[in-house]
Structures are given as C-alpha cells and as structure tokens.
Structure 1
C-alpha cells in the first residue's frame, strides 16, 4: 500500500513525543485564506434542522458528506447534536474539521483546550462520577490532569503483569460458550459472552480484584456498566429505532443519574471494599483522595476500557469472521509461524508484536471503525487552521469537531480509502500511515503523557486486539460469522 507522496510532503506528521501538530512549512503559505463556510441557521430552528438530519433524515456519515460537497470544503460551520430546546447551556455550534490536516489541530495543546469536551459541548452531570470531574474532562493545564493521567499510566503498567493471563483465561470461557451455543443452535450470538469476557478480564487486570469475590458483580457488573454508559450517551447517539419516537423520547433531554445510581453504588462499593492496593497507589503516589481514585478508576474501567472494547471488538471479529478473500488463511499462517501450533503456545506480548499482518488488520479496522467516531476540542486562542486546500481563522472559544470515519478516509493520504486493505500498514511505507491513524485522540505513532490527551492505553488496546486474533487462530482453522454472531468454527488440527 502506497502513501501518496504529494500528501506526505504537505502533511507534517504529529510529533511522536509531544503530540502537537507541526506548524505549516513555508510552502503552505501559498494556500488561500478563506472564511469558514456554513452557518448555524436561525436560533432553535437551525440546530433542530441539523439534529433531524444527523439522527433521522441523513445519519452521521451522510450529514457530514453532504455538507463537504455543499461547501466544497472539509472545514465548515454546522450544528452537532445534542440540541436540547429547553437547555440553552448546551451550545450545538461547531467548526467541523474533516480532513487529516485540519483534524490534526485537535491534538495541539498549545492551540486547543480539552476541558469538558468529550461529547462536545454536552457533559453528563458530574453525579455520574460521584461529583468528581474525572481525568477525561480535565484540560492538560489543570494540575489534577497530571495526577489522574499518571495514575492511569501506572495502573496500566502494573496490570501488564497479569494482563495476558487474565485475557487468555477469559477467552477460554468465551469460546467454550460460543462452541456450546453453535452445537445447540447452529449459531452463537456472542456479544453478551464477549462483554462478560471483557468485563471480567479488565476488572481483574486493572483493579487487581477477581469479580468472583462478589456474586452480584460477577453476574451483573457488565450490565451495570452498560446501563451507566447508555444513560450518558443516548442523547448524542443514533440508535436506529422507529422514528419519530427516537427523536421525541431519546434525544430531547439529558437523563438523570438516579436512573443508574443503584448500579453505580454497587460498582463503587466493589472497588472500595476490594481494591485496596490500587486505591493506596492513587492516594499515596499520586496525591488523589480515595474518592477521586475510585471514581477515576471506575471511569477508566467502565467508559474507556470496557466501553471501548465493547464497541471495537465486534467490528474486528466480524471483519475477520465474514471475510471471504483468504485473509483468515493468511492470518492463521502468520500466527502459527510465529507461535507454533496449539492454543496459547508461544503467545505473548513479544511474539504478537512480530505479527505484521495481524497488527495491520487491527490498525485498518481502527481506521474504518474507530470506537469513538467524534473528537472535540475548543480553541484556546485565535489561530489559523489549515486544510489541504485553504487556511481558515478560528476564534478563541469556538468548538472544533472531527468525524473520524471521514477523516481517516482522506483520499489525500490513503489510497482507495473506502476499501478495507489488510496489508495497508505493512512495511516501511505502510508504517508511515500510522502518523495519520488517530483513533486514540492522537496519532498511533504518538506517546501518551501528562502533556497531552492521548489514550493512556493506546498500545495496550492494539496489543490486546492482536492477542485476541492470535488466540483465535491458535484455536481454530477458520471462523464464520459477522459482528453479532458466529455460525461455525473449525477447530485447529
């Protein structure tokens, strides 16, 4: 797969250490300065019209594509849901940035502020986090951001000692369930077993506590997180149920915490009563209170880790299980060449890192199906934002929004951008494209630190996904299915 050389010459990759976008080279000064096209429409009516397009008449992808075509620009003004007619504190006005070059500005901490912009201008009530503004809602200039980010990175470092063991143990349970369902029903709807697997393995790895210490958490913890997550993000997400009921009942207001207060209290008590070593780490080494430690840990475990994997892994498994191009044979050959044959044989962080095709498939799935499709940032000051075609002036306080599924289909960077190409990131030329793989709130070549907002678990996510693929092809010669069900497996000979 070839990176277009002209694009490579004109789009400087973000720094691998600071995560900031390099300033445009002198040649870029020849680009025309344009006024940002688009508008927000009339008060109430403009946001409502855009909301109906986004959720109902067009859907997110067509919503952005039609406006790119209309304005002949990948940078424009529009409104983004949620738009609550009776809650004026939520401002839907954004500047969309939909190409690799303009999108990269979202990671320059000198230019943008990240406070309270995880879901745009909408932030669920802090009651969802025990009244604590957890790390994801803090800007890098906030002293507590450094404490919470350092805590999360140390947590991941410590968890690496048991990560592989816990993952493989829970994958055993997952695939036993899948095989049992197939034998009884000729198919397995694996989403629920997968979520149980993810929850149990992450709980043990990140908190140091096996869910078996609480029968309620072991049986229902994953459900509690599902409800807690859903209540927060429903106002911003297209569900796809019968309209207009989705608009009337799901997108018209923010939901109150009391609907999931009981679930969250049980999860809080589970951590408070059992994760003493991790809680002492937050208190003694990073200066967090016990309460802050617990709420940040629950967010890392529930929103970042469990929520992210629950969205991403079905896309990955479905992509592989539904492939008819011979990809499975190639993956199986690579995995067994590196690890040998037999379930779990020779599989570890070192060996999985040698699997170029496996890693490329994970990266390509993240490019086409990023677990968090929208990224936001607020202008810290007036500055000029550059797209491939023009330069635009952004004012302090304006909210920037990038839709990643479109950004990472930028034809100026990726050849055949709409196609899934499993080899795209293989070799020296392919590895350069990792500069433009932004799923983790920064480039894949970047390094998470307290100075940026890149996902602390960036590398653990991709390694874990690679381990799951490798484990799959040590167990099976082939799998058949999609992103929701497995219809057949052929055990390894």
Structure 2
C-alpha cells in the first residue's frame, strides 16, 4: 500500500522514527553514547543509518538529572533545519543552550536577550538597542581590530625569535576581546583604571561562559566519571565564577556609558542593560570569534597549505594597494577568494553547532524524502555541522573547498549557510532570532584573514590536544 500523503505536502507522511527509551535510563544511555561510547558525529550518523532518515527522535544532552526533558526531534538536513528559524512555528524562549537553562544568576538575575522569544516585548527593545550601538560604532571596528591584532603579531614574532611557542589560541583571547570592548566602549580593558581587567579579560569571559555550556559541550579533558559528576549531575552554581563575572560587570558599568545611556533612552534598566551588554560582547561576539579565528586559520593550514596562503597574500596585497595599504570595507570587496574561504569556514564547521525551538502548534515538517507530523510542545533540535554537509546541497561536502562560494554558482549556495541562526542572505531583525551582529561577524572574520595575510606570506602550525580542547601554536611565520 502506498504511503499516505499529507494535506500540505507532496512528500509521503510517515511517523517520525526513533524513540526515547525508558524514562531516565533512555536519556542516560543516549548521553553516554553521545559523549563517550560513540562521540558526536557517530552518534548522529549511526541513527541516520538506523532509521534511514535525517529526522528522528532522540535524547539530547545533558539529560537527567540536570535537564527537565531531554527528548527532541533531531533535524540534520537542509530541508528540515530551517523550520528552527520560523518563529511562527517554533518558540525560542529559554532554548539558547537547549534542553536545560543555566541559572539567571550567571547574568545578574536577568533573562538576557539570547533567551527571549521575539514575541516578548523586551526582546524587541534589547535587540534594537544592540543594532543601535553597533551602528553607532561601526567605524571603530576595523581600526581597533588592526591595533589589537598588531600587538599580538609582535608577541608571536618575539616568542618565535626567542625559541618559544607562539600561541595563536591565547593571543586570539586577547585581541578578539580587546577590540570589541575598545570599539563599543572606547576604553582598553587592559589599560590601568579603577575597573581594569588587565590581560585577564578574555580568559575571564571564557571562564564565566564555561559552566553555562559545559553540560552540553563535553570533552573537557577530565576523566569521564569526573566530567559526568561535575557537569551533568547537578546544575553548576554561578558562585564558582562569580568573581570573574563581577569584574566584567564592573568594567562595563564603569566604561560602558555610551551604550548604557542609549539603553536607558529606550527604557531599558541600566543594570539589565549592563548584563546584556556583557553577554552580547563577552559570550556571543567574543565567544564566536574565540572559536572561529583559530579554526579558520587551522583550515587554511590543513586544507590549503602554502599555495592557498600565497594566493590569499597576493589577493590581499593587491586589494589594499588602492586603500593606502590598509584593510578597509572597500578593500574587502575586492577579495573574492578570501570571502569564499571565510564562508567555507562557516559552512565546514559552524561556530554555533546547535539550534533549538519548541513547536508553537501542530505542523507538517519535511525533509528531502518525507513529511512528518510535529505536535505542539515538542522540542526540535538541529545539529548544524551535519546540515552544512548535506550532500543534496553541497558537492563534496566533507571537503574544505576554498573556492566553493566564488562566482555566480557560489553565490547561489549562500542561502544554505545558516551559521547565524538564519540564512546568510536574510536580514536580521527584531522579529527573528538571527544573530544581531551577523554582518559584524562576517566582516571581522574577513578582516582577520586579511590582516593575517597582509602581514605574513605563509605560516605553519603545531596543534596540541584534540577536539574542542585543542590549542594552536604558530611554528613559523613568514613576514611579507
């Protein structure tokens, strides 16, 4: 007998495959598979193979006892995944990190914008405020980045000259953090002053963010039993990082006058604005740059080598010849290879791998082959690295292809790049949950690669550790 058709889809309507197992133990089994027995990629691929489907039911970490409900409908293809952006169908309230919600004590007791649904009035105010202060300071970002990046270059070159390791990972923590705060608040966080963060700003931000992500990230380097007990048994108390947060909060309250004044003009409480500004810059923006800058450097080294590096160096050098030898927005427009490399980095390993949304109503969900009935209240989850490797959209998806997004055919692929919680070709607004700083992230990622190859012709890297805990060091740097 032929499979039934849904009323709103030409694809066969079938039950969503998969199950959640027995109460409690089923979630624990999936969690152990995810972190220890299979690992992240095999966890998804084994279930895709088992169910012959890119849509299936499964438990997502952290699972009990830290989460109230770990049951999700998993989406790992380009056709089904975009429903997570459709706020008419899914609610984005308190789903920023998935099936659990860190305590608001990590953020001065406030539900910051990342946890708000667009239907909430406060979301509109906070996101509009973010647009406003980013726009006001747009001219500052590239010059401040250049200044901070140059300082790190001096550190790398000095370390190499002295026979020491030149840490890419550690210096990214410095310049990614410093340029953001200098551009928005017009104060160097390392400069002497009553609330100075010294050189601890970036590391302190990372330390504060870690407990909020640790239950779902895993691979901390600790023994398995210790990691499970420490991060996925009981909620991690904010008290453990309170001193780091207090130092960051005090800095923003002291030096963030311009953006905080703008917030009050919109009717936002100043303390709440401070907590959100801290989250915007130290969690969202800095966190993303801290992940992506080393990764894109590693991809260029691993998959491109000297040939790609020399091509990037030549392209950057020629493009900045008309702009006084400095990187500008105009110069970036004449770097098509560099632009494609950055987009391929976002596709190959998206800096935000997980997306969640809770169904607001009953609706029909489609993947490439079938359609499925989703019920109101069910949690949907998408694992973006597999979505960005969908072979029905991307040719040779498992390869890093530097020229993938060049030319007219490459441009056609941009709507399928979802790193920002929305298609790359769509605009972020107060009505959706697309990253408020989407364009800033793309631009500054291009600036990072441009600055790197304006100063250096090529480099080699040493990598210590594996997976999410790996650290990158420059082994050689060839100056231009």
TM-score of the superposition, structure 1-length normalised? Answer: 0.91
More moved, 205-214 vs 135-144: 205-214
Structure 2 counterparts to residues 124-143 of structure 1, below 5 A: 124-143=102-121
2:155 is aligned with 1:174: no
- Residue 473 of structure 2 is matched in structure 1 by 485
TM-score of the superposition, structure 2-length normalised? Answer: 0.93
Deviation at 1:28, TM superposition (A): 8.3
2:375 is aligned with 1:387: no
- Residue 254 of structure 2 is matched in structure 1 by 273
Specify the SS of the correspondent of 2:402: coil
Please tell me whether the aligned partners of residues 346 and 419 of structure 2 are also in contact (alpha carbons under 8 angstroms): yes
Deviation at 1:468, TM superposition (A): 1.2
Match of 1:104 among 79, 82, 86: 82
Match of 2:95 among 117, 131, 134: 117
Deviation at 1:156, TM superposition (A): 1.2
Q: Distance in 2 between matches of 1:325 and 1:115?
A: 46
Deviation track 1:338-364 (CA, whole Å, cap 9, x = no partner) reads: 11299x714201211221110110010
CA distance 1:28–1:101, shift in 2 (3 Å): farther
Deviation at 1:200, TM superposition (A): 0.8
CA distance 1:135–1:401, shift in 2 (3 Å): same
Q: Distance in 1 between matches of 2:403 and 2:346?
A: 14
- Residue 315 of structure 1 is matched in structure 2 by 295
Please tell me whether the aligned partners of residues 371 and 439 of structure 1 are also in contact (alpha carbons under 8 angstroms): yes
Q: Distance in 2 between matches of 1:339 and 1:187?
A: 31
- Residue 186 of structure 2 is matched in structure 1 by 208
- Residue 17 of structure 1 is matched in structure 2 by none
Q: Distance in 1 between matches of 2:23 and 2:341?
A: 45
- Residue 238 of structure 1 is matched in structure 2 by 218
Identify unmatched segments of 5+ residues in structure 2.
1-5, 464-471
Structure 1 outlier segments of 4+, above 4 Å? none
Specify the SS of the correspondent of 2:56: strand
Deviation at 1:230, TM superposition (A): 0.7
Deviation at 1:124, TM superposition (A): 0.4
More moved, 468-477 vs 139-148: 468-477
2:444 is aligned with 1:469: no
CA distance 1:27–1:469, shift in 2 (3 Å): farther
- Residue 131 of structure 2 is matched in structure 1 by 153
- Residue 399 of structure 1 is matched in structure 2 by 379
Query: RMSD of the alignment, in Å?
Result: 1.8
Q: Distance in 2 between matches of 1:251 and 1:311?
A: 23
Match of 1:252 among 210, 226, 233: 233
More moved, 171-180 vs 263-272: 263-272
Deviation at 1:247, TM superposition (A): 2.1
- Residue 340 of structure 1 is matched in structure 2 by 321
Deviation track 1:373-398 (CA, whole Å, cap 9, x = no partner) reads: 11111111110101000000101111
- Residue 311 of structure 2 is matched in structure 1 by 330
Please tell me whether the aligned partners of residues 341 and 474 of structure 1 are also in contact (alpha carbons under 8 angstroms): no
Structure 2 counterparts to residues 349-364 of structure 1, below 5 A: 349-364=329-344
Please tell me whether the aligned partners of residues 135 and 148 of structure 1 are also in contact (alpha carbons under 8 angstroms): yes
- Residue 19 of structure 1 is matched in structure 2 by none
Q: Distance in 1 between matches of 2:328 and 2:406?
A: 21
Deviation track 1:118-172 (CA, whole Å, cap 9, x = no partner) reads: 1112110001111111111000100011101101111211221211111000010
Deviation track 1:4-36 (CA, whole Å, cap 9, x = no partner) reads: xxxxxxxxxxxxxxxxxxxxxx99833100100
Q: Distance in 2 between matches of 1:458 and 1:414?
A: 22
- Residue 244 of structure 2 is matched in structure 1 by 263
Please tell me whether the aligned partners of residues 59 and 238 of structure 1 are also in contact (alpha carbons under 8 angstroms): no
Match of 1:455 among 435, 441, 445: 435
Q: Distance in 1 between matches of 2:450 and 2:168?
A: 18
Specify the SS of the correspondent of 2:200: helix
More moved, 148-157 vs 480-489: 480-489
Number of equivalences: 463
2:433 is aligned with 1:425: no
Specify the SS of the correspondent of 1:40: coil
